[in-house]
C-alpha cells in the first residue's frame, strides 16, 4: 500500500481543491494511512467513543460555528483534548473558513497540519474521497494480456507460450486496442477492476519468432489504450481429450480478482481453431447477455416448446378413436 504524506496530498491536489496551508510546514511530514474522512464534532464536545482519529479530520461550517460558540477557555480545552491525546494525521477546513487561533496554535504544538480549502464541504468531501480511494486502492501486477475488444476489456490469461500475445496481435490487426501485454497493473475501484499499461515502457509486445514490436508505432494511436475496466477473462488452455469445457453456456463461471467476480471462459487452443474470431464472439455474447438476451436460455425455451408441441401431437394421434 502506498503511503501518503500530507505534503504529497498538498502538492498533488492544491490546485484541484484550492488548498492553503494554515499551520507550520513541520506538519506536512505526517502520514495519511486511510482513505476515509471524519467530522470531529462529537470529539470536540467531549465524546470520544468511536472517534476515528486516524482519519483526516474535516471541519465544515458546523464544527467551526460550534467552536466559535464556546468561551475562549472552554474552546482551548476542547481543542487541546482532541489534538494532544490523539495522533491526528491532518485537519482540513472547507469553504475557506478561518479557524480560531487556538486551533492553529495547538495544531502547531502537536505538529498537526491544517489545510484550508475554498470548496464547499460536500464538494471537498467528494473530490478528496475520490482521490484518496484511488490512492489507497488495492493494486498488484498480474501476468496476462489486456485488450479492449469493441469496448469490452478482455483479460487473456494462460501459461507461457500458449499464444496470448499472438492472439492480442491478431485482435489489434482487426482494429481492437491493446492495453497491456504480459504485465498488467490492476487496481480495484468502486467495485470494478481496472487494468493499466506500464506507462514508462509503453505498448510493446514480444512475439516469439519476431521479437519485440512497438504496437503504437506500428499500428498507430488507435491501436492502444492506457487503461480499461476488465469485464471478461479468457483463459487459453491446451486442447486435451476429455476436457471439461463449456458446451452449452447456461452456467456462467467466474474468477475472482480482489473480491470482484469476473466471468471466465476457458478456451481450448489447437491448430485450425480461430481463437480471435471466438474471442470477438465471446464479447458479443457477453454484450447480448448484458442487454438481456441469453442465447442458451432462448434456445432452451424454443426446444422445450418444440418437445411440448410434438408431445401434444403424439397424444392427439394416439387418443384419436375415429
Partner 1 sequence: MISKKIVLSNKLGIHVRPASLIANTASNYKSNFVIRKDDMEINGKSVMGIMMLAAGYMTNLELRVDGVDEEELLREIIALIENKFGEE
Which residues of the chain form contacts with partner 1 (CB under 8 A)? 140-141, 143, 160-161, 181-183, 198, 200-201, 204-206, 212
Q: How far apart are CA 27 and CA 113, in angstroms?
A: 4
Sign of CA dihedral 300, 301, 306, 308: positive
Comparison of 160 and 270: residue with beta carbon closer to partner 1: 160
Closer residue to partner 1, CB minimum distance, 139 or 170 = 139
Shortest distance, position 183 Cβ to partner 1, whole Å: 4
- E strand residue ranges, the chain: 4-5, 19-21, 31-32, 37-38, 56-59, 91-93, 114-117, 139-149, 152-157, 177-189, 192-196, 204-207, 211-214, 227-238, 254-257, 260-269
CB closer to partner 1, 191 vs 211: 211
Which one from 247, 259, 320, 321 is the annotated catalytic residue? 247
181 is catalytic: no
314 belongs to the catalytic site: no
Which phi and psi (to 5°) does residue 146 adopt? Answer: -115, 125
DSSP string, 62-93: HHHHHHHHS-HHHHHHHHHHHHHHS----EEE
Q: Which of 29, 143, 174, 256 is an active site residue?
A: 143
Rounded to the nearest whole angstrom, what is the least distance from the CB of residue 214 to partner 1 in the complex? 12
Reduced to 3 states, what is the DSSP secondary structure of residue 131? helix
Please identify, using beta-carbon distances, which residue of 46 and 161 lies nearer to partner 1.
Answer: 161
Q: Is 15 a catalytic residue?
A: no
Q: What is the 3-state composition of the chain as percent helix, strand, coil, each rounded to the nearest 5?
A: 40, 30, 35
Are the C-beta atoms of 59 and 93 separated by less than 8 Å? yes
Which residue, 160 or 319, has its beta carbon nearer to partner 1? 160
What number of helices (H) and strands (E) belong to the chain? Answer: 10, 16
Catalytic residue (choose from 75, 176, 182, 228):
182
Min dist. Cβ of residue 210 to partner 1 (A)? 12
Minimum gap (Å) between residue 163 Cβ and partner 1: 13
Least spacing, CB of residue 157 vs partner 1, in Å: 11
| Closer of 205 and 265 to partner 1 (Cβ) | 205
Catalytic residue among 164, 176, 177, 286: 164
Active site residue 177: no
Q: Which of 66, 223, 195, 68 is nearest to 139 (CA)?
A: 195
Smallest separation, CB 137 to partner 1 (Å): 14
Rounded to the nearest angstrom, the gap between the alpha carbon of residue 24 and the centroid of all alpha carbons in its chain is 35
- Catalytic residue positions, numbered: 143, 164, 182, 247
Amino acid at each position: 500500500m502506498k503511503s501518503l504524506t500530507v505534503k504529497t496530498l498538498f502538492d498533488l491536489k492544491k490546485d484541484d481543491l484550492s488548498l492553503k496551508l494554515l499551520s507550520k510546514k513541520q506538519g506536512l511530514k505526517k502520514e495519511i494511512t486511510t482513505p476515509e474522512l471524519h467530522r470531529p464534532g462529537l470529539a470536540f464536545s467531549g465524546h470520544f467513543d468511536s472517534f476515528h482519529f486516524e482519519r483526516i479530520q474535516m471541519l465544515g461550517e458546523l464544527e467551526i460555528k460550534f467552536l466559535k460558540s464556546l468561551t475562549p477557555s472552554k474552546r482551548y480545552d476542547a481543542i487541546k483534548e482532541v489534538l494532544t491525546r490523539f495522533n491526528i494525521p491532518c485537519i482540513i477546513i472547507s469553504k475557506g473558513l478561518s479557524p480560531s487561533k487556538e486551533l492553529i496554535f495547538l495544531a502547531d504544538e502537536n505538529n498537526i497540519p491544517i489545510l484550508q480549502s475554498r470548496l464547499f464541504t460536500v464538494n471537498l468531501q467528494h473530490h478528496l474521497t475520490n482521490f484518496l480511494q484511488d490512492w489507497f486502492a488495492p493494486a498488484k501486477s498480474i501476468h496476462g494480456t489486456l485488450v479492449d475488444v469493441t469496448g469490452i476489456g478482455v483479460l487473456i490469461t494462460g501459461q507461457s507460450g500458449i499464444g496470448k500475445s499472438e492472439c492480442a496481435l491478431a485482435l489489434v490487426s482487426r482494429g481492437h486496442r491493446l492495453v497491456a501485454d504480459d504485465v498488467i497493473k490492476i487496481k480495484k475501484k468502486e467495485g470494478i477492476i481496472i487494468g493499466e499499461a506500464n506507462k514508462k515502457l509503453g505498448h510493446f509486445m514480444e512475439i516469439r519468432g519476431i521479437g519485440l514490436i512497438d504496437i503504437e508505432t506500428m499500428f498507430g494511436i488507435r491501436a492502444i489504450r492506457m487503461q480499461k475496466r476488465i469485464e471478461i477473462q479468457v483463459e487459453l488452455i491446451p486442447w486435451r481429450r476429455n476436457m471439461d469445457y463449456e458446451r452449452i453456456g447456461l452456467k456462467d463461471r467466474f474468477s475472482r480478482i480482489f473480491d470482484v467476480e469476473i466471468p471466465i471462459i476457458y478456451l481450448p487452443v489447437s491448430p485450425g481453431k480461430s481463437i480471435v474470431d471466438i474471442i470477438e464472439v465471446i464479447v458479443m455474447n457477453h454484450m447480448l447477455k448484458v442487454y438481456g438476451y441469453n442465447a442458451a436460455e432462448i434456445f432452451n425455451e424454443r426446444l422445450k416448446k418444440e418437445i411440448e408441441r410434438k408431445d401434444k401431437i403424439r397424444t392427439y394421434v394416439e387418443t384419436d378413436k375415429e
